[in-house]
Amino acid sequence: MTPVAIVTGASAGIGAELARVFAANGHAVMLVARREERLRQLADEIAVPGKPKPLVLALDLADRNAAEAIKSALRQNDCEAQYVVNNAGFSVIGPATELDRAEQLAMIDVNMRALLDLSLAFTDDLVKHRGGILNVGSLAGVMPGPCAAVYYASKAFVVSFSEALHQELKPLGVRVTCLCPGPVLTEFQARAGVAAAKSITPFDVPADRVAAEGYRGLMKGKRVVVPGLVSKLVFALVPRVVPRNFLLKQLEERQLKRRASH
């Protein structure tokens, strides 16, 4: 059985960069996302001569049977999971009471339920291959987010769950790392319903650097990786130092401004 790194949300942005990093470091890769054509283009791009071409699986992770579909595809190709990279996720911007409720529930399905399912579905294989799990969280996971309430809450779940799972699986030789980037200029903004920022901010870290730091952190067995000095300071200090009322007001104003500019 060939050990494989499963990368979800691999069709663009941080997910595509993570797939590139794993392939460049000699790992067989399975690319999972909804857009099959994008995945096949990426598979062609990152294929390494003399090694199996990356597997492609077009799949909506909101589907409750997603984990079983991935397992079936692995078995059909004589593969087993060595790494699970839970990158798939999305956001929508606006007051929770005004946004579509079904879409917010779908966000929970992708950002939380699917991540949990895939983190636990392959434990035996991860132990066998001394592998690991890389869960993509966010700076949003350490603070509340008015006008992106469900997204921020979902990332708080990712951070908390990943840190706990890191402690539980460490004795079994399985690494669990939570990658928590700040804002990264990708297609994520368009999906969320905001215009992508065009100016450089202190938070900006390119997607390829985010992916590279996440990969290195996973291989070193780090519990949490926060790319960028400013983001590290925010992750460590803002929840403890900034008054909650002030933080809530500032974040709400920022999200409403982003929504209005779209």
Indicate whether 246 pLDDT > 70: yes
The residues near 73 (Cβ < 8 Å, ≥ 6 apart) are: 30, 55, 57
Q: Which residues face 134 on adjacent strands?
A: 85, 177
pLDDT at 239 (0 to 100): 76
Structure token digits, residue 197 = 């920022």
pLDDT of amino acid 161: 98
Among residues 251, 232, 253, 258, the alpha carbon closest in space to that of 144 is found at 251
Q: What is the pLDDT of residue 69?
A: 98
Mean pLDDT calculated for residue range 129-151 = 95
Report pLDDT digits (tens) over 85-127. 999 999 999 999 999 999 999 999 999 999 999 999 999 999 9
Tokens of 159: 């951070």
Q: What is the pTM of this model?
A: 0.89
In CATH, what number is assigned to the domain containing residue 199? 3.40.50.720
Q: Which helix (H) or strand (E) holds 106?
A: helix 101-108
pLDDT of residue 234: 84
Q: What is the pLDDT of residue 183?
A: 82
Note the pLDDT of residue 141. 94
- pLDDT value of position 132: 98
Q: Specify the pLDDT at position 192.
A: 45
Question: Can you give the pLDDT at residue 155?
Answer: 98
Task: Examine the pLDDT at 262 and tell me if it is beyond 90.
Answer: no
Structural domain for 205, as ranges: 2-260
Alpha-carbon span 256 to 241, nearest angstrom: 24
| 83 within 8 A of 27, measured Cβ to Cβ | yes
> Is 152 part of the annotated catalytic residue set?
no
Domains in the chain, number? 1
pLDDT tens column, 187-202: 544 444 455 544 446 6
pLDDT computed for residue 203 by the predictor:
61
> What value does the mean pLDDT take over residues 27-45?
97
Mean per-residue pLDDT, 25-36: 97
Question: What pLDDT, in 10s, does the model give residues 148-163?
Answer: 999 999 999 999 999 9
204 falls in which pLDDT band (50, 70, 90)?
Answer: confident
Please identify which of the residues 83, 151, 152, 215 carries the catalytic annotation: 151
